[in-house]
Amino acid sequence: MSTEFTEWLRSRSDDQLRALVAVRPELITPVPAHLEGLAGRASSTSAIGRVLDRLDLFALSVIETLAVLPSPITAKALRAQLARALRGSPDAAFRSALGETVERLRTLALVYGPDSALAPAPGVRENLETPAGLGPPAVEVFRHHPTERLAELVQDIGGDSGDGTKETLAGLLGDPGVVGRLIQDVSPQARAALNELAWGPPSGRVPNARREVRAATAQSPIEQLLSRALLGATGEETVVLPREVGLFLRDGRIHRDLSPVPPALDGADRDRRLADRTAAGQAFAVTRAVEELCERWSIDPPGVLRGGGLAVRDLKRAAGMLDLPEWVAGLVIEVAYAAGLVSTSGTVDGDWLPTPAYDAWRVKGTEDRWTVLATTWLTMDRVPGMIGERDERDRLLNALQPDLRRSAAAEVRTTTLGVLVAAGPGLAPTAESVRERLAWEQPRRRGGHRDQLVEFTLREAEQIGVTGLGAIVDHGRALLPCGDRAMSAGRLLAPLLPEPLDHVLLQADLTAVAPGPLTSDLRRWLALSADVESTGGATVYRFDERSIRRALDAGQSADEMLAMLERHSATPVPQPLSYLVTDVARRHGRMRVGTASAYVRCDDPSLLDEVMADRRALPLRLRRLAPTVIASKTSRPTLVDSLRAMGYAPAAESLDGDVIITQLDVRRTDGQPLVRPAATFGGLEADVVAAAVRAVRAGDAAHLARRAPVDAPGGQVPRSPATTTIVALREAIRQGSQVWIGYLDSQGNSTSRILEPARMEGGYLTAYDETRAAVHRFALHRITGISDIPDIN
């Protein structure tokens, strides 16, 4: 860690330190004890790598230029070097952009020093292994070469053979005249090989790279380059282009092309009102799809695979049930799971069932339900687009499988949608232009897997309703950190949603037509009492004996069903439907099935005679116990299902003789729903940042005071009479000020602390210890004295 860097951090104002901590919150997790600790953490390899990953291409080019050039460098020299890579001459916009970028890099503590002496922070050069595609300096390339070999290389390129050190060799390669002469001496094939490595990557693989060949006897192009130190062997089969040679081949330029502005986004202009309506329609559809999925899984849940996840056949079944493509059904299932609306009922032989959280979710308004789903999709680490692909061990990735998690998923969704926001209202940029823009905004994070996540994001955002016709809409923009927080996404979406209907059109062919979206209660009742026959602009429900019996099993009576139909029908209840309900209800429950293993009880002996005479009842092994009672060795559910298959309408009853009401639509899992990490879009709170900076400043003051106390001769901690100490502590509590105390620890060692006293009682002082960034209790008899905080400056 550089002392100059630490002193530069110490000279920064509190506002500047707060800005650093706000953009790099990992530096105060936990809060360092002093500024030396903060500097060490800021220059660590992992911390530097994280902040470099967030830089755009222009900022990365600036820091790469500073890493390549000798330090320190003036801002004017930096500007001149970068201007060589511009397509045109530098103008005022370029100078302004460069000044802002340098200041931003200072804020990030990647660059330090004034404009007259800029330098990269410690750790930056080590993290940038190949800045701008350049190889390491010659000193690093030839570091492990033996002295004898270095002497031979120095002699072959025109130096003094008696000075065979890597520094001498690096000095020769740093001379453009020497490098130019060496390149002229090699064959065209060797020059072509150099040109291949010039703009990166600077390394390659060749056989026998470490074979020592003199320039006079070199035959192959690679041997010619190795013998003249134009390439250096770093392994048995690895060669690298020294940085000095690469800069010569680039004619002194560090970057081939440079632009301070991002590439423009190309795409189609959309009508904003049409895009809003399209996105609202998708938002409504995905919300209803999640509700339909949970309702169906309440009745007939799919099983959990042994390794976790959902079977392929169950995904296909859900897609058919929801009338959606399989990838959309997978998206709906994954979002419902990530939102905690569905979970497993057990780890072994369990089912996928709705959770109690679903009941709380479904009673909300449509716009609020969509906001939950959209926010979940935006922040979850699961990737539904990977369903159906295979992992590195060629295993199929199923829906709801644990292996669908990707740590970068949420960040890619946020940045991708941020690009759509930057495109402006109504512009639907192409996927290619979005990828190019992201490659400029985060060049160190680009790659094939990331491009795939971007494609998934664009496709899923359209399906979720965050975008409409490829353009970001207002309620989708409100989900992002850059969105308008004055209005929530739900409030922006609500006026665009269709008004739910509370009526259907009953027809004489035993169907009900829903001309639009229905209210949740009516929709749930129809799902119980009828079966969906077709969907589209209008949903058609069909009533039949089986669906009516399902409603009766759930505890409804014929009168209640007819009253419900009359209340929610825009037309009179057709006579065929009324006859169907009353006829099924009349026959329902005349025959009762209980547990013997199972028994059948009926007040009409002739009906039981009919059952006993039916050859289809032979597998049930029935036995007549009384004129009105039949026993069976099968279970009660099996007996009920078999009698219904034979055309009867039995009802299950309890041991007390009461009819068992089968409430198929309220099955819930006791398993724990998925717990999602809280989104961290907003970063640290301002008061947390301010408190952290105060703690670091106070700790640094105490750290410097321990090394050389200002007002304590001989480096002693503060000492004062006990009465004076108590009075001073009470005054500090009253004023809310900080004090510097001396304190004896449990081993009797003297220490100094910077405290902000809170209260004093029972022989103890409770105070916030700025040195350790925590609240502690201090025994008053251990306080050796008190003093004002020394002025370190």
Q: CA–CA separation, 20 vs 622, rounded Å?
A: 82
What pLDDT does 667 receive?
64
The Cα-based distances of 2 to 24, 63, 122 in angstroms read 20, 18, 6
Chain centroid to CA 429: how far? 23
Q: CA–CA separation, 52 vs 105, rounded Å?
A: 10
Three-state SS for 128?
coil
What pLDDT does 537 receive?
66
Q: Which residues pair with 272 in a beta bridge?
A: none
- Phi, psi torsion values for 628, nearest 5 degrees: -115, 15
What pLDDT does 592 receive?
62
Mean pLDDT, consecutive 10-residue segments, the chain of 793 residues?
84 93 88 86 89 93 93 92 83 90 95 94 89 90 85 82 77 89 90 89 83 75 87 87 92 90 92 93 92 87 87 93 92 95 78 89 89 94 92 87 90 93 91 93 85 94 95 92 65 86 88 84 83 78 88 84 88 89 82 67 83 82 81 79 80 70 59 47 73 85 60 59 82 82 81 83 83 77 81 45
What DSSP string runs through 505-564?
EEETTTEEEESSPBPHHHHHHHHHHSEEEE-SSSEEEE--HHHHHHHHHTT--HHHHHHH
Encoded amino acid at 617, one letter: A
Encoded amino acid at 305, one letter: L
The Cα-based distances of 616 to 228, 611, 619, 620 in angstroms read 96, 9, 7, 8
What pLDDT does 792 receive?
43
The Cα-based distances of 144 to 150, 237, 425, 694 in angstroms read 10, 15, 58, 47
Residue closest to 589 by CA, chosen among 509, 650, 532: 650
Q: CA–CA separation, 585 vs 10, rounded Å?
A: 85
The answer for residues whose C-beta is within 8 angstroms of residue 534's C-beta and 6 or more apart is: 540
Chain centroid to CA 282: how far? 23
Is 160 in contact with 154 (CB distance < 8 Å)? yes
**CA 252-69-67 angle, 5° bins:** 120
The answer for residues whose C-beta is within 8 angstroms of residue 388's C-beta and 6 or more apart is: 326, 327, 330, 396, 397
Q: CA–CA separation, 368 vs 258, rounded Å?
A: 46
What DSSP string runs through 168-202?
HHHHHHT-HHHHHHHHHHS-HHHHHHHHHHHTS--
What pLDDT does 726 receive?
85
Burial label, 687 (beta-carbon count in 10 A; 0-12, 13-18, 19+): exposed
What pLDDT does 708 receive?
43
- DSSP letter assigned to residue 573: P
The answer for residues whose C-beta is within 8 angstroms of residue 393's C-beta and 6 or more apart is: none
Is 61 in contact with 261 (CB distance < 8 Å)? no
Q: What are the structure tokens assigned to 450, written together?
A: 């990331």
Is 198 in contact with 244 (CB distance < 8 Å)? no
The Cα-based distances of 79 to 57, 85, 114, 119, 517 in angstroms read 16, 11, 15, 14, 62
